[in-house]
Amino acid sequence: MTKKIALAADHAGYEEKEKLKTTLDDLGIGYDDFGTASTDSVDYPDYARKVAEGVSSGQYDQGLLVCGSGTGMAIAANKVKGVRAAVAWNEEIARLARQHNDANVLSLAARYIPDDEQKKIVKAFFETPFDGGRHERRVEKITEIENEDFK
């Protein structure tokens, strides 16, 4: 079975998102594009939420978000239960996010990372499995935090 991901960007990440579709195709990763469809200004939380909810529900294996810095999208996505969105600025961080944190959403900085590096980061993230082992206990603690009722 082929991996399927949810994909979205805001206006700052639109052009990079479109370029990364070729990388996803080359990797044999299926995707649904949740927008945006242009460089016209939009509110990034709307797009991050669509991807995060798709991943959280199990409809998608993982997600890919692209905005100017990667940070806003990651913050918004991490508000959805079950999502562990990571901002990766290089291949090693992408691998570690998967290996150690079982990150299920990758968020990229379109304005600060060259196209060739973006492709390498995407490849590293989506091809790297979670290591489990001692990291499993830590990821479970993240889930415990998210399940607590703070008042």
Q: What is the pLDDT of residues 15-68, one digit of tens each?
A: 999 999 999 999 999 999 999 999 999 999 999 999 999 999 999 999 999 999
pLDDT at 63: 98
Nearest to 102 by CA among 76, 140, 72, 74: 140
CB neighbours of 112 closer than 8 A, spacing ≥ 6? 69, 89
Residue 2 confidence class, pLDDT cut points 50, 70, 90: confident
Active site residues: 67, 100
DSSP symbols for 113-145: S-HHHHHHHHHHHHHPPP--THHHHHHHHHHHH
Residue 148 confidence class, pLDDT cut points 50, 70, 90: confident
CA atoms within 13 A on the CB side of 16: 28
Residue 146 has pLDDT above 90, yes or no: no
Domain count within the chain = 1
Strand stretches in 10-75, DSSP E:
30-33, 62-67
Predicted TM-score (pTM) of this structure: 0.95
Structural domain harbouring 121: 4-147
Would residue 20 be called left, alpha or beta, if left means φ above 0 and alpha means ψ between -120 and 50 degrees?
Answer: alpha
CATH number at residue 56: 3.40.1400.10
CA atoms within 13 A on the CB side of 51: 36
Q: Give the tens place of pLDDT for each residue, 105-144.
A: 999 999 999 999 999 999 999 999 999 989 999 999 999 8
Whether 95 contacts 39, CB under 8 Å = no
pLDDT at 5: 98
